[in-house]
Amino acid sequence: MSAVTVDHSTDLRFAGMVASAICGRGMRRIVARPTLIMPVLLMPLIFVVSFTGAFGSLTRVEGYGTDNVFNWMAVYAAMQGAVFAGVGGASTTAEDIENGFFDRLLLTPGSRVPILVGTMAYSALRSTIPTTGVLLVSALGGLRLPGGPLALVTVYVATAGMASAFCLLGLAVVYRFRTMRSMILIQVCGFSLMFLSTGQVPLHFMNGWLHTVARVNPVTNVLRFARQGFLGDLTWSMTWPGLVALGAMVAVAGSLAAHQLRRLAA
C-alpha cells in the first residue's frame, strides 16, 4: 500500500514540475523578448480607447446599465486581451512544433497532461498583463468600482479562464494541423464569439438573430460575471452562470486538446 502511495505522490510531483517548468519557460521568454507581449497588450488597449471614445454616448441611451462607458467596455477589452493571450500561449506550442522542440518534449517519460496544464497556466498568467493594462488605462479614464475590490477579482478570474479556454482550443488546432498559420482559425473564432456577445451593449439592446445568438453565447455569461462589480454589487446569481460557462469551455476545449495530443503522441 505504502509503495503505491509513494508512486502516486512521485508522479504528481513530477507532473507538477513539468507543468511549472513549461509555464516558467513561457514567462521567461516574455522577459527575454518583451516584444512578444506587445500585440497582446496593445490590441486590448486600442480596443478600450476606441470603444470608449467612439461609443461613449451609448450611456445616454436609456437602460444601458451605467453612466460611465469605461465601466462597461473595460471588462470587454480585458476579455479580448485574454483571448489574444490564450491564442498566443498556443502559438508558442506551434512554434515549438515547427522548430522541433515539441518532438523532444514528447520523448520525456510520463503523462502528457502536464504539457497541457503548463501551457494553459502560462496563458492564464500571461492574460494578467493585458488585463492589468486595460484596468490601469480605464482607471485613468474614470473607471469606478461600485462592487469594491472583489470586482477586480472577478475580472482576473474571468480573463484567466478565457485565456485558458482559448489556449486549450488553440492547442487542439495546433496538435491537429501542426502549423502556426492554423492559429488564425482560433483568433477568428475568439474574435467572433466576443463580438457576438454582450460586449458592447446589454442583451435587451439587441434584436433579431443577434439577440438569440448572444443569449446562448457562453461569453455573455462570463461577461455578466466579470462585469457585475463594475455595475453594482456582486451577487451569486450573476456569479455561478459565469463560472459554469468558464468551466464548461475549459472542459470541452481541454478534452479536444487532450484527444489531439494523444493522437499526435501516438
Q: Give alpha helix (H) positions in the chain.
A: 2-32, 38-54, 69-99, 101-106, 113-126, 128-141, 150-177, 183-195, 208-216, 218-231, 236-265
Nearer to other proteins, 57 or 99 (CB): 57
The DSSP output letter for 58 is G
Other CB atoms within 10 Å distance of the CB of residue 100: 9
Nearer to other proteins, 109 or 208 (CB): 208
Nearer to other proteins, 16 or 53 (CB): 53
Shortest Cβ 130–other proteins spacing (Å): 14
CA distances from 116 to 180, 224, 257, 263 (A): 17, 28, 8, 14
Nearer to other proteins, 60 or 104 (CB): 60
Q: Which residues bind other proteins (CB under 8 A)?
A: 39, 42-43, 46, 49-58, 60-61, 188, 191-192, 195-196, 200-201, 205-211
Shortest Cβ 69–other proteins spacing (Å): 10
Shortest Cβ 207–other proteins spacing (Å): 6
Cβ atoms of 133 and 45 closer than 8 Å = yes
Shortest Cβ 45–other proteins spacing (Å): 10
Shortest Cβ 105–other proteins spacing (Å): 27
The DSSP output letter for 59 is G
Nearer to other proteins, 34 or 110 (CB): 34
